[in-house]
Amino acid sequence: MYRIGVDVGGTFTDLVAVDDFGRATLNKVPSTPADPSIGVLDGLQLLAETLGLDRSELLAETDRIVHGTTVATNALLERRGAKVGLLTTEGHRDVIEMREGLKDDRYNLRLAPPEQLVPRKLRLGVRERMRADGRTETPLDPTSLDRAIAALERERVAAVAVCYLHSWRDPSHERATREAVGRALPDTYVALSSVYCRRSRSSNGFRRRSSTPMSVRLCRAIWKSSSGGSPRPGMPGRP
């Protein structure tokens, strides 16, 4: 039996097959960014031919395939991905820009800030507030929410990240927001911070407000890489 490893990169797709005796067979084929699965199948075909088999025979004699990819890393570095809007608790939209108060060269007063994952005009505050113990301080305000969603609709965002304060304790406000966004923008992908960051340590700061927009921004690239298609609207962030 074989074990096969596949690494899909931006330029090449690398494959290795290891048999029961530990003998490794390696192959490399060009990646196919429009549909990475084509490059994987081409690589499996070449790997099979190297082993004197056809592809179906190789797969029949394989008990494990491990897949890795740099598709998301490349998309992030190249600033590709969906146009994202951020809905967050009123008064907290700049947390993502302040980060954790650190910078790469802390004594360089002229160091330019990094390009933001979500530009300020697409980071909108919504009137709501959940306390750290899970009690509701301020109920979710439908008028404030509708106003923010309308602004994102005018900007034609393709994805929305919802990052409310202390939502890890009680995600009801985020879930209600997801439903409201789904009604107003049915073709928009929505991610909830209460799904991506469920621990209190990272609940209310930069990590939550960066990882959630990053995840939904890269959703299309990852989905296309793994399925050859586009993600379903609303798919990210559903429990």
Tell me what the pLDDT averaged over the chain comes to.
86
Are 13 and 99 in the same domain? no
Residue 237 reports pLDDT greater than 70: no
Residue 127 placed within a domain: yes
**In-domain check, residue 117:** yes
- Of the two residues 197 and 95, the one the predictor is more confident about is 95
Domain of residue 29, residue span:
2-54+62-69
Q: What is the pLDDT of residue 239?
A: 39
In one-letter notation, the amino acid at residue 100 is E
Q: Are the beta carbons of 29 and 46 closer than 8 angstroms? A: yes
As a whole number, mean pLDDT of residues 62-75 equals: 89
- Spatial separation of the C-alpha atoms in residues 10 and 8, rounded to whole Å: 7
Read off the tokens for 189. Answer: 């992908």
Residues 121 and 163 in one domain: yes
The answer to the question of residue 134 being in a domain is yes
Residues 96, 48, single domain; the answer is no
> Mean pLDDT, to the nearest integer, of 85-90?
95
Q: Which residue shows structure tokens 């088999």? A: 53
132 vs 6, residue with greater confidence: 6
Are 148 and 42 in a shared domain?
Answer: no
DSSP secondary structure letters along 187-229: T-EEEEHHHH--SGGGSSSHHHHHHHHHHHHTHHHHHHHHHSS
Q: What share of the chain is helix, strand, coil (3-state, %, to 5)?
A: 40, 20, 40
Check whether residue 42 and residue 90 sit in a common domain.
no
User: Taking every pair of C-alpha atoms in the chain, what is the biggest distance, in angstroms?
Assistant: 68
Over pLDDT 90: what percentage of the chain?
A: 56
Residues 169 and 110 in one domain: yes
Q: Is the pLDDT of residue 102 over 70?
A: yes
- pLDDT reported for residue 164: 93
Residue 165 lies in a domain: yes
Domain boundary among 69, 97, 117: 69
Residue at a domain's end among 69, 94, 109: 69
9-38 pLDDT, tens digit each: 989 999 999 999 999 999 999 999 888 889
Q: 226 or 76, which is more confident?
A: 76
Is a pLDDT exceeding 80 seen at residue 216?
Answer: yes
DSSP secondary structure letters along 29-68: EE--TT-HHHHHHHHHHHHHHHTT--HHHHHHTEEEEEEE
- Are 158 and 90 within one domain? yes
52-61 residue pLDDT tens: 999 999 999 9
**84 and 193 inside one domain:** yes
User: Do 39 and 88 belong to one domain?
Assistant: no
pLDDT at 187: 87
Domain assignment of residue 234, yes or no: no
Output the domain CATH number for residue 122: 3.40.50
What are the CB-based long-range contacts (under 8 Å, 24+) for 39-48? 39/8, 39/13, 40/6, 40/8, 40/13, 40/15, 40/67, 42/13, 43/6, 43/13, 43/14, 43/15, 44/4, 44/15, 46/15, 47/4, 47/15, 47/17
Q: Domain boundary at 69, 95, 127, which?
A: 69
138 and 37 in a common domain: no
What is the tally of structural domains in the chain?
2
Give the pLDDT of residue 223: 63
pTM summary value: 0.76
Using one digit for the tens of pLDDT, what is the confidence trace for 130-177?
998 889 999 999 999 999 999 999 999 999 999 999 898 899 999 999
88 and 40 together in one domain: no
CATH of the domain at 21: 3.30.420.40
Q: Among 51, 57, 53, which Cα is nearest to 16's?
A: 51
Residue 233 lies in a domain: no
Asked if pLDDT for residue 180 goes beyond 80, the answer is yes
* Same structural domain, 109 and 6: no
Q: Is residue 87 part of a domain?
A: yes
**Residue 238 domain-assigned (yes or no):** no
Using an 8 Å Cβ cutoff, are 63 and 20 in contact?
no
